[in-house]
Amino acid sequence: MDGRGSSGVLRGSERAPPPGSRTPGAPLGAEEIDVTVVLRRNPRAGSPLAPDLWKSLPRSERRPLSREEFARRYAADTEDLDAVRAFARSAGLRIGDESPARRIVHLVGPASALATAFGTTLDRYRDGATPFRGRSGPLHVPSALADRVIAVLGLDNRPQARTHFRVRPASAGSAPGYTPPEVAAAYSFPTDADGEGECVGFIELGGGFRPDDLSEYFRALRIPLPTVTPISVDGATNAPTGAPDGPDAEVELDLEVAGAIAPGASFAVYFAPNTDQGFVDAVSTAVHDTVRRPSVISISWGGPEPSWTAQARAAFETVLEDAAALGVTVFAAAGDAGADDGGPGTGLSVDFPASHPLVTGCGGTRLTIQNGAIEEEVVWNDLATGEGATGGGVSGTYARPSYQADADVPVGPNGFVGRGVPDVAGDADPRTGYAVRVDGQDTVIGGTSAVAPLWAALFAVLNQLLGAPIGFANPHLYADAGTGAFHDITSGGNGGYEAGPGWDACTGLGSPEGAILSNVLRGT
């Protein structure tokens, strides 16, 4: 880093060697790439989150900040931005997008220059059919940036997350599956609102939706077609692959489940590359979107906590703090691989970002509906047939939050007193899954990917009824645990934990009893 002063290791940037095979080919030096530099908040502004804010204030006094007000108070400091600009000039890089409100600066330049600037080596790798750039070890930043930079993302663009949906297996038979309105009715969702005036944001890291699929799906249900707006992040676009068992299924499952329950809401779909850079940039874009202004965000992608670098999780955390201060509720699927979140041999692990304390993690059940009512609901677990199970367990990274003080969360496998996952649940077993339409085909899909948009749609409806955003939901949900607002799931397990009365590491507090939850929230 000649000419830029002394340098040091960027805290949390250590990366394990890529799991794919190194591939020979043209050197990376001339390839132009874009990296995201995530900056701290203005150090003179303090934290936007007061301790236990939502628990200590009555609803009438809980006022989220507007995005404009937030930007005025908590945007990146001018001196920090100037330091990054000076660093870019000295390293032969140029400034791409720059967002003070999001505290993000994109640096663009040849791979060789960026690798030198951050003290690393980049090589080409391949994971199956997917080529990517990879690195190992830590990154370095000059002393002038050491206290200003939280993360540098994008040098390594290996795939970061996976979808959490499951197509119903052929062995399950040919029953048509439940429509989202049937599931909503079984869960007693309010019927006097449709989400009008609310915007739900969806994070998608691949695939796309076909407008014809949505038109046909909602026409068949006799439900108005919701307004859906795709937004490009880091160059990704709405790009259907034509494979109904690929990422298109994720995108269309999200939109069809939520749209059938809250058709009056508008939907903003943030498409980004499947990298840690793309994931963080997509959520940041959604949280700070001053045009669509989503009040709820649904995330159906994730990966085991240990697969994330500490710097990427730290970058995510700052965005999630922003969301809480802005009154944005974030739901995330808890995973579909059971308690190890990745298959045999990996040990017990939870899925991130569902494991973050500022996210409402969504687990899965097997729901049987008879004559419009719940006949039986148990933990979703098809591990015996290789068809997945709900994620859930105890975080090895995040300490147990205050809202889980009375939740009887077990000590984690490493002895850590961690945050329990999930918080809530809903129908996820593909054998009792959702009837949807993907790439011109009618199919039945489950997975915890379906639960995040189910809860997101419910909260769009509740926000409309309340006339204000619920915002960070977990303190409300745990405070309401004894009110009948949840169907307590007490039977089944996920390969590492067993369900029981009250909160458990399979289905959290349980599935929603929407009408009671609505009444409870209106009264708090």
Q: Could you list the active site residues? A: 250, 254, 449
Bond prior to 142 in cis (omega within 30° of 0): no
CB-CB neighbours of 23 under 10 Å: 11
524 alpha-carbon distance from chain centroid: 27
Length of the chain in terms of residues written: 524
3-state secondary structure of 385: helix
Distance CA 254, CA 395 (A): 26
Q: Which residues contact 513 (CB under 8 A, 6 or more apart)?
A: 187, 188, 484, 485, 486, 487
Contact 408, 502 (CB under 8 A): yes
Nearest Cα residue to 447 out of 255, 171, 207, 164? 164
With both helix axes pointing from N to C terminus, report the angle between 451-466 and 247-261 in degrees, rounded to the nearest 10. 30
Calculate ∠ Cα 435-439-445, nearest 5°: 30
Reading phi first (left if > 0) and then psi (alpha if -120 to 50, else beta), residue 490 is in alpha
Rg (CA), the chain: 22
| Burial of 523: CB neighbours in 10 Å, binned 0-12, 13-18, 19+ | exposed
Q: What is the rounded distance in angstroms from the CA atom of residue 354 to the CA atom of residue 334?
A: 5
Question: At 135, which amino acid appears?
Answer: R
Sheet holding 130-134, edge to edge: 21-22, 123-127, 130-134
Cβ(175)–Cβ(443) below 8 Å? no
